[in-house]
Amino acid sequence: MESVKIPEKVKMRVKDLRSQINYHDYRYYILDDPEISDAEYDRLMRALQEIEKKYPSLLTPDSPTQRVGKTPPLKTFDPVPHTVPMLSLGNAFDRKEVEEWVERVKKGLGTREDIELVVEPKLDGCAVELVYEEGLFVRGSTRGDGMTGEDVTWNLKMLRDIPQRLKGISIPDYLEVRGEVYIKVEKFKELNSGQAKRGEKLFANPRNAAAGSLRQLDPKVTASRPLNIFFYDIGEVRKAEFKSQIEMLAALKALGLPTIERVRLCRNLKEIFQYYDELAEAREELPLEVDGIVIKVNRFDLRKRLGTRTREPRWAVAYKFPPREETTRILEIDVQVGRTGVLTPVAKLEPVRIGGVTVSSATLHNEDQMNEKDIRVGDYVIVRRAGDVIPEVVKPLPSRRTGKEKKFRMPEECPSCKGLVVRVEGEVARRCLNISCPAQVERGIKHFASRGAMDIKGLGSKLIEQLLKREILKDVGDLYSLKKEQLIGLERMADKSARNIIEAIKASKNRPLSRIIYALGIRHVGEHVAEVLAEEFGTIEALEEARLERLEEIDEVGPIAAKTVYGFFHDERNLNLLKKLRAGGVIFPVRKKVPRGKLHELTFCFTGILSSMSRDEARGRIKKLGGKVSSSVSKKTDYLVVGSNPGSKLRKAERLGLKVINEEEFLKLIEGKAE
């Protein structure tokens, strides 16, 4: 504790220093118009640090010195639920798709008149959400899966263009603000140059560097990276109201938050396409990576009327720039074996830079596509890379052939296990039938341990490969009998690392049912279908016993996935694996059923615009009462709810003889007043 009283002039000096530093941060990071040199700025910061060191009680969480303090490294990132989901955007890849989107928006709003649309650059960075309470930055998180992100508060505090306290006189009591963390192109080059000089791993592109820098357990590492941020959206807000995107962006800027630049208000398609062309032309000259534009309905009341789909808003769309392509040569063609036994031809290329990434391999998809395109070893080819999509060979350039190029034939035996390879009727892929094939087992274990499945941290490809090679593992069931002593001595595996792996495996024994179903690697069963199956059946035993007809009845599963699920649980080898997992201590939990509501087993569909609530609110009410909501009309639909300006669903419902109700009847039904 401090033994002396703090002089009033010292308190005033601290207040003055913080005010000056925050002002110069704003000039430098927000306005890009500094008034002092870096050396002068450093002197102000050092003066503040010295006073806070001498008088610790003056230190506050929003002090500029706390961005890069002695913050201890984190052990993990805590989950942070988003009050308002951080949705993905639908994509448009050409003008026709943009025109169709605009028409859907107008139809949804019941108008033929042009509406105000805001266009913004689509940043290629890492999406985050910051929370300010009474103007003070209190929490920051990543987008995560849209519903729940990771707590990266301390790392975000390292970004100097993020104000610790909002400025101005109209500060909301509570503000959730969304933005994109990014690295400028030139800074990215400098960062990679430094990595190379130190003999460290190079970053693939600015987006990956930004995301990786933000998810460092030690905030000091984040602080050493040249990160910036732009804000462009909000979540929940209290004691403040915005009527439009333009108004909201102006308000955020007035609060001291750096907002997205090059924003333009458009009133028709011509203006949108003009903006798109201008930005595309300037793309290579921009200081940061931009991979398209985002088009949004400007007015927030219109957005509410339009609502959202499951994963994306109806009031916004991303109009992507064309994928970046380059020409290179195929050196050889390899065949990779996936976890389900599918053989995929992969072109090994002369390395080429595409969109800021060095590409040395590209998928050829399957045998049919390779033959149709007449792709040969030695060919010069056009390779495309778009965003996170695996690079692909678009086409060969026959005019550049010399006669030395060779056609490639898919192998008759598996390149991994030398087992039988067959091409199942109706499928384009060749498949290895050996369930014990090392390549399949390796990728199956990797999938089982992945983050969305059992989330066994530290169990990467190299370790799995070693464990299989030494026959310590034969399948995922063997993970739960692993001993620390079996790991020690493997490459990069000392006592502490081995102990961490064993602890991670132990922690994975108690995962939700949906994640266990996904982890099993059943063909055509992704995370969403696994969630549907868990909700529908409640236990793994009920799923094991499900009839094929019962599986096929589930709308979101589909006949193909139903057959693979049924086949999986009727294969003796898979049932033995489940027994092995149980014996190893894996808990197959019971998925608690939502109590049956009065709408239990009733399926609803909507058409037109509701006046009393948004579509999302209506869906929520139905689900809360035990009902289901379908996006399309079918014989299984019990009620079609019709709002104003209904679409083609109404005609289809009438043809099928379905029950059609208006909004008033719907409200009576959910409020218990229906006759």
Query: What pLDDT digit, counting tens, does each position of 194-237 carry?
Result: 876 787 766 767 887 888 889 888 888 898 999 999 999 999 99
What number is the average pLDDT over the span 69-89? 74
pLDDT at 73: 53
pLDDT at 655 over 70: yes
Binning pLDDT at 50, 70 and 90, where does residue 33 land? low
pLDDT at 1: 45
531's CB contacts (< 8 A; 6+ apart) are 514
Percent of the chain scored above 90 by pLDDT? 44
Sheet (strand 228-238) strand order: 136-142, 126-133, 174-182, 228-238
What number is the average pLDDT over the span 540-554? 91
Task: Give the pairing type, strands 174-182 and 126-133.
Answer: antiparallel
| Higher-confidence position of 269 and 40 | 269
d(CA 414, CA 417): 6
pLDDT at 425 over 90: no
What number is the average pLDDT over the span 22-44? 65
Domains of the chain listed by start with CATH number = 8-59 (1.10.287.610), 90-320 (3.30.470.30), 324-423 (2.40.50.140), 438-507 (1.10.150.20), 513-583 (1.10.150.20), 603-670 (3.40.50.10190)
What number is the average pLDDT over the span 99-126? 94
Binning pLDDT at 50, 70 and 90, where does residue 389 land? low
Specify whether the CB–CB gap between 84 and 236 falls below 8 A. yes
d(CA 170, CA 255): 8
Tens digits of residue pLDDT in 503-515: 999 999 999 999 9
What is the pLDDT of the chain when averaged over all its residues?
A: 86
What number is the average pLDDT over the span 255-280? 92
What is the value of pTM for the model shown?
Answer: 0.49
Q: Where are the alpha helices (DSSP H) in 415-558?
A: 438-449, 461-469, 484-487, 495-507, 513-519, 527-537, 540-544, 548-552
Tokens 């490459």 -> residue? 491
Give me the helix-helix angle, 206-214 and 185-197, nearest 10°: 70
pLDDT at 340 over 70: yes
pLDDT at 555: 67
pLDDT at 139 over 90: yes
Which is nearest to 290 in space by CA: 204, 414, 180?
Answer: 180
Which residues have a catalytic role annotated? 122
What number is the average pLDDT over the span 121-136? 93
pLDDT at 465 over 70: yes
| Higher-confidence position of 371 and 302 | 302
Helix (H, G, I), strand (E, B) or coil at 292: strand
166's CB contacts (< 8 A; 6+ apart) are 132, 135, 136, 175, 255, 256, 257
pLDDT at 573 over 90: no
Q: Calculate ∠ Cα 590-591-593, nearest 5°.
A: 120
188-202, 467-481, 514-528, 580-594: least confident range:
188-202
pLDDT at 426 over 60: yes
**Residue 193, Cα to own-chain centre: how many angstroms?**
28
What number is the average pLDDT over the span 606-618? 77
